[in-house]
Structure 1
Amino acid sequence: MAAYLIAEHKIADPAAYEEYRIKALAAVDRFGGKLLLRARSVGPCGLVAAGPARRA
């Protein structure tokens, strides 16, 4: 069964997020999942070539 997750995050605590990121990627690997897209480049309006603008 396929499942897809699309998310937008505001990271308030980079150290806590790094700990979460490591654990989350380990869980994805453990259960045979894979990342289809992971972006590190964020511009003033979000990811380059991102979807529609954010709603207020």
Structure 2
Amino acid sequence: LSSLCKKIAEKTHPFTKIFINTAVKEDLSWFSSILSNSVGIHFINSTIWTDSDADIII
């Protein structure tokens, strides 16, 4: 979705129209296919983890 982010980042007003080029179209098509196959979107609350909570420490 990086090509879409680049286009949106330049806008200062909400609901401003953008031109959909091939790169943006491909990003949105990819996102649509991933989203339709996903089980849902899960959000987690941010917490502070200690070293003992980690499976691996690098």
TM-score when scaled to structure 2?
0.33
The structure that is strand-richer by fraction is 1
TM-score when scaled to structure 1?
0.34
Query: RCO greater where, 1 or 2, for CA within 8 Å and sep 6 or more?
Result: 2
The structure that is helix-richer by fraction is 2
